[in-house]
Structure 1
Amino acid sequence: MKKEDVPQHQSKLETANIREVCYALDENGEYTTELSTGWDPKTIALNNALEQIKERVEEAKKRVLNNETSPLEYYMELHKMDIPILASYVGFWKWQVKRHFKPSVFRKLNSKKLQKYADVFEISIEELKNIKA
C-alpha cells in the first residue's frame, strides 16, 4: 500500500488521540512507517470487543450485588484483567485469587492483602469493599 493510501477512518483510537503504525511505500518505492487512525474492519472488531468487556463488567457487578462473588471479580473485569494477570500483580497464586472471589473468604481477608488488591486497582480498601448499585 502506498503512503497516501494508509487508512484514516474514524475509530475510538482517534478519539483517544492514539495512532497506529503501518508500513507503506513512499514515493521512492521504499518501505516507511505511516500513522493511521484505523480502518473500518478494525474499528468494528474493536467496538465489539469493548462491548463484550462492558457486558462482562456489568455481569460481574450483578454477581457482586447478589453476593455470588467478591468485588475482586468486578474490579478485575473493569481493569481488563484475568486471574493470571491479577495474581501476578498482587503476588498471590492463581488459586488464592480464585478463592478470594468467594464472598465469605473475601470478608475475612486482612488489611495487608486487601491493600495489595486496592493498590493494583488504584482505589482505597473502602472502595474495594463497597460497590454501589
Structure 2
Amino acid sequence: MKKEEIPQDESNLSKSNVKELCYATDENGNYTTGLSTGWEAKTIALESSINTINERIEEAKENIKSGKASPIVYFMELHRMDWPTLADYVGLWQWRVKRHVKPSVFKKLNNKILQKYADAFQISVDELINYKGA
C-alpha cells in the first residue's frame, strides 16, 4: 500500500492515542514506514477475539461455581494460556495439568505443585485455592 493509503479508521488504538507502525511505499516506490490509528477489518477481528476470550473466562467462572472445574481453568483463561503453554510454565505433562482441573484432584495437590501454578499466574497460593468464581 502507498503511504497516503495507510488506514486511519476508528479503533481501540485511536481511543488511547496509540498508533501502529505500518510499512508502505512512498511516491518513489521505496519502502518506508507510516503510522496508523487502526483499520476496520483489524478492529473487528480483535474485538471478536476479545469477546471470545471474555466468554471463555465467564464460562470458567461458572464451571468453578458449579463444582465442575478447579480455579486453574479460570486463571488459565484469564492469562490467555492454552494447555501446552500452561504445562510448559508449570513444568508438568499436559495430561497432568488437565487432571488438576478436576476439583477432587485439585484439592489433593501439594504446596509445591500449587506454588508452580501460583507462580505461572503471578498470584499467591491462597488466591489460587480460595478462588470460588466470584
State the TM-score, normalized to the length of structure 1: 0.91
* Aligned-pair CA distance for 1:33: 2.2
Q: 1:17 to 1:126 in 2, by over 3 A?
A: farther
Q: Which residue matches 1:121?
A: 121
Report deviation, 1:26. 1.4
Deviation by residue 1:33-84 (Cα, 9 ceiling, x = unmatched):
2232320011011101100100000000100111101100010011111111
Q: Which runs of 5+ in 2 are unaligned?
A: none
1:27 aligns with 2:27: yes
**Aligned residue runs from structure 1 range 94-109, under 5 A:** 94-109=94-109
Deviation by residue 1:6-39 (Cα, 9 ceiling, x = unmatched): 1122222444565433221113220112232320
User: Is 1:56 aligned to residue 46 of structure 2?
Assistant: no
SS in 1 for 2:32: strand
**For 1:41 and 1:127, how far apart are their aligned partners in 2?**
39
Q: Once the two structures are superposed, what CA deviation does each residue of 1:89-132 show, in whole Å capped at 9, x if it has no partner?
A: 11000001000001011111111111111011111111111224
SS of residue matched to 1:127: helix
Aligned to 2:91: 91
The number of residue pairs the alignment matches comes to: 133
Q: Alignment partner of 1:77: what SS?
A: helix
Q: Residue 71 of structure 1 aligns with which residue?
A: 71
SS in 2 for 1:29: coil
Give RMSD over aligned pairs: 1.6
SS in 1 for 2:123: coil
Q: Which runs of 5+ in 1 are unaligned?
A: none
Structure 1 runs (4+) deviating above 6 angstroms are: none
What's the secondary structure of 2:131's corresponding residue? Answer: coil
Distance 1:16 1:104 in 2: 44
Q: How far apart, CA to CA, are the structure 2 residues paired with 1:116 and 1:122?
A: 10
1:90 & 1:17 partners in 2: Cα distance?
37
Superposition TM-score, scaled by structure 2 size: 0.91
The 2-side partners of 1:22 and 1:91 are apart by: 38
Separation in structure 2 between the aligned mates of residue 16 and residue 64 of structure 1, nearest angstrom: 34
- Which residue identity lines up with residue 38 of structure 1 in the other structure? G
Which whole-Å CA distance do the structure 1 matches of 2:71 and 2:15 have between them?
A: 30
